[in-house]
Structure 1
Amino acid sequence: MNSPFHPGEQAIQSRIGVREQVESMGSRMIRDHMPEQHREFFAQLPWMLVGSLDSDGQPQASVLWGKPGFAHSPEPSLLRINARPEADDPLTANLHGAVRLGLLGLELPTRRRNRLNGPLVDSDREGFTVAAQQSFGNCPKYIQARDWHWEARPAGPLEQGNGLDQRWLGLVERSDTLFIASQHLDPQTGGVDISHRGGTPGFARLGEDGRLWLPDYSGNQMFNTLGNLLLEPRCGLLWVDFNSGDLLHLEARAEILWPDQTGSGELPDLPGAERLVALTPGRWRLRRSRLPLSFDSPRPSPFLPQGH
């Protein structure tokens, strides 16, 4: 029987001794269709996180929005998104042909999240449709719960550049949430993922080496993102400013470091981290005042490491 996990995921599962246990779990959890509760869940959301690939194979992380129901499932194997990205969203250039996409539905008030990965099967002026290749739920750990409200905003300017920049570093240093898009390259079983990462404000820290250091806490042990990064270090990051609606899209290259590799005093001290992911910043876009949602103060995750 074919495994639901690719060699990168399997390698990390084996390294920490959960390979057999997670294989059994993944075979039950990962489906080629959405159960009814997932179909209903997506239709309740005001936003959708989207992972895509550009023409060079660089992953990009984006967010789309609309009144609840803008994402809906006409049948268990399809998810329709009635929204189009703005012209300066990196997703705009990537919606063509049978490209693979990763979708993440995240309901912040309840900490629920479900994922759907698969190929683009239709795209028109109103939106696009994705076929379910992998459909599965994720645990709510490390999500900061927030209530949301619609807030009309005049769109701000686009700023862009390459590498570490003070124009966006402040957002990163005060954020408790980010999204990361990654990929597995296999032409038959590969695809794009987008996943959530959370912690206390500033959990992604700037190291002395100019890289952003991201803690990796204990999770569902499937290692979808880390398995991708082990084989293909390029990733796309998205930070959302929950106050201003600013959206930061950052391309990066990731290196996974394990406890036996992190004895140097130059590395950030990130309590509770079982591994660290070092991110070398590349090209970036800062799209000011774009997300037409406002959010109340966060209710911190009860799973956050003590002392972090």
Structure 2
Amino acid sequence: MESLLHDVVENILERLSVKSLLRFKAVSKQWNSTIESRYFQEKQLKHRQQSGDPDVLMVSVCPYDVRNPTIESLRTLQLGSSSTVKIPTPWEKENIWYLVSHSSCDGLVCLYHPHKSGYVVNPTTRWYRPLPLCGFQKLMNDLGDGYNKLGHKFFRLGFGKDKFTGTYKPVWLYNSLEIGLENATTCEVFDFSTNVWRYVTPAAPYRVFAYPEPVYLDGSLYWFTECEEPKVLSFDLHTETFQVVSKAPFDNVDPYNIFMCNLDNRLCVSEMKWPNQVIWSFNSGNKTWDKLCSIVLDVMFDSTKICAVSPLALFDGKKKKKSKLMFCGQFNLYRISLLCFFKI
């Protein structure tokens, strides 16, 4: 009977917010053990994902033309609310801007910096794990201003999870020839068990675009290849191998006008051709791209001040079919981001 009662309690607990669960860990050793278990955490996360629209995590970045900015590292915005909640972080006092990996994973996000240590963060529980410098960052630091003179771009950090072992993996994939390395690309993966970055060989068979963010979906990370006809390249986080998934539905592109994202657990790509930006969804069954929607941009933006907008999420928790797209547009001139919503 006691076991049955705890099963009932467990079903109630998985419907609570993380903030409440953190308080209830103090009720008993059994409750603490349940709440700390991976099995329960996966159930609670799944229930939260199915129960409504996602929260928005906002990361403060520093415009290069602003002197002595005051930076708030993290804030969350609940959809349907006009107010945000500040998340205090121990590194905020350093007043350093961080980039954020485009994909979150089980509520975790990865913050990183070109020249400094990064963090894997759980914004809800305030847990974080520092990341040491990888070889790519050390090389940039050693070269200093000479790095930019080589014409080598800054590549984005990917973050995802091995879906078989549950291991989280930050991944840095970058082109190598310009910086004196032998291979077309170099891949580094962070190992949480040893707290070191290690090289993966062979790395990607194709050079990749630096600007579009890598995207995580179902155990793999994805990049665009730097080709006249761009391909979508995947990296399996379990086997740590690369393969080409499909040709992208566009060619001869400006890398600042294309984007890749995970919308409702679907791999999506998009291209901006002013005044429209079309979003395609990948059909893994027949390896084709289905047109999801087309956003008319000139009703909201000036063509001279915007890169391709960033689709973030499909939502509308009250309906079976998610019919609203949330995206972010960034103004080049002012480096200001604007959250927008589009009905599809």
- Larger radius of gyration between Structure 1 and Structure 2: 2
Do they superpose with TM above 0.5? Answer: no
**TM-score, normalization by structure 1:** 0.25
